[in-house]
Amino acid sequence: MGVSARALATIAALTGVVVLAAGCSNDEVKPKWTGADSSAGGPSASASAAELPKAAFAAPNDGANDVSTATDLSLQAEPGANAQVTLTDASGAAVAGGLSSDGKAWVPGTQLKYGTQYTATVTSAGDTAGKKVSFTTMAKPGKTVNVSTAVSDNKTYGVGMPIVVRFGSSVPQDMRAAVEKRLIVTTTPPQVGTWYWFSGGEVHYRPKEYWQSGTKINVRLAVGGLQLTKNGWGSKDVTSTFNIGDKIVMTTDDKTHQMTVEQNGTVIKTVPVSLGKAKTPSSSGNMVVMDKNQSELFVGTDPSDPYRETVYWTQRITSGGEYIHAADWSEGDQGKRNVSHGCTNVSVSNAKYLYNLTKIGDVVIVKNTTRKLAWGNGWTDWDKSWDEFVKGSALPPPADTTASPSANPAVSASASA
């Protein structure tokens, strides 16, 4: 995944914000990177050749075998823009890639081939002969682990959209840091973000603040050939490119039984609602739209309060079953009292209006109900402050970790209809 020098973007693994700026096949373009504060990384380019450290490889070792196809080329020094790295396979074909933000490694832009010999060369100012290593990658493993993401190519999402990654087998805690380093998020414009492990099978990425409208995001899950469990390796790299659309925020206050709809900071509509009744209260917290359907069949699971209803213009906001949806049977209650099984009931016309306005990833905030949103009950990434969210990473926080406003705490589960 080479990134051109004229369109620098932010590649954020949990260690910070990285920009790969040059493919190895372009000798005229110098690899560059920026930090989270947009300052230059590595030694000053103005330093003399004599002052700059000479680059050499720390790993893989020359002659190494069974090297992971997800390997990086670690450097013994931090030569920054002083270094030029090339990597070629046995046929002489070049592999694109670029330096990490700290200058300690060169990262191939794609998964390397199985059972293939590669030759890497690094040169630096005052050492044009450079240092060279050859190594051979591992054979294709017998057991592979599938890795997937909830985001799709060329789709537009809301400003609250987390990048949700799921693993076919649980990643042990002692292996999560190595895995996290290979989950690469590139954003234009740059925005600081980090990952949070909800479990060994699921990790989410979110920025410090909501995504900026118009942001272009590239995701590379560089896990092909990476060991993910004690005896399982990633089956292949996964990539996706998507965009962030207008900022839509739907805020519902149970005290007023009203939903306020904002688009790019401007209130565009107020919608009367009916939330969950006393026995089945709605969750208060910070959520996002997870899924949308023109119709769904809702079936109650409580024998004392059964229902079976086809519901229209649905927008799911929790995994436990809370939705925004049309409810013609409660239109007389909307704006006045709560009669639902936990969902946000709105009129048919308002439900259709909201359905046509929103995107997956748009922000939903519910306030002043008797139930707090349970952490992990859906895409609850925004229900923790940034300072709390960064603690869910297996790596140190990114450079910019100044506090952001706290979100509502999460203490209990929810169910609805």
> What pLDDT, on the 0 to 100 scale, is given for residue 51?
59
> Of 99, 115, 137, at which residue does a domain stop?
137
Cα 343 to chain centroid, rounded: 27
> What pLDDT, on the 0 to 100 scale, is given for residue 52?
59
Q: Which tokens sit at 98?
A: 């670029």
Low-confidence ranges of the chain (pLDDT < 50): 1-47, 49, 401-417
Point out the catalytic residue in the list 204, 257, 341, 343. 343
Beta strand pairing call for 344-346 and 323-326: parallel
Strands (E), 231-307: 233-234, 238-244, 248-253, 258-263, 266-272, 283-288, 291-299
Are 184 and 131 contained in the same domain? no
Point out the catalytic residue in the list 204, 257, 325, 341. 325
Are 76 and 98 contained in the same domain? yes
Are 291 and 260 contained in the same domain? yes
> By CB neighbour count within 10 A (0-12 exposed, 13-18 middle, 19+ buried), where does 27 fall?
exposed
Are 387 and 252 contained in the same domain? yes
The reply to whether 406 falls in a domain is: no
Q: What is the pTM of this model?
A: 0.81
Q: 177 is in which domain, residue-wise?
A: 144-244
> What pLDDT, on the 0 to 100 scale, is given for residue 48?
54
The reply to whether 128 falls in a domain is: yes
Place of tokens 């030694």: 43
Are 35 and 108 contained in the same domain? yes
Domains identified in the chain, total number: 3
Question: Which pLDDT tens digit goes with each residue over 167-219?
Answer: 999 999 999 999 999 999 999 999 999 999 999 999 999 999 999 999 999 99
Residue 130: which CATH number? 2.60.40.3780
Bridge partners (DSSP) listed for residue 167: 147
> Of 102, 137, 172, at which residue does a domain stop?
137
The reply to whether 402 falls in a domain is: no
Contact 385, 406 (CB under 8 A): yes
Residue 333: which CATH number? 2.40.440.10
> Of 244, 262, 282, at which residue does a domain stop?
244
> What pLDDT, on the 0 to 100 scale, is given for residue 78?
60
Contact 165, 192 (CB under 8 A): no
Place of tokens 């995944």: 1
> What pLDDT, on the 0 to 100 scale, is given for residue 321?
94
325 counts as catalytic: yes
Are 187 and 261 contained in the same domain? no
257 counts as catalytic: no
> What pLDDT, on the 0 to 100 scale, is given for residue 53?
64
Question: Which pLDDT tens digit goes with each residue over 56-86?
Answer: 899 999 999 999 999 999 988 665 557 889 9
> What pLDDT, on the 0 to 100 scale, is given for residue 81?
55
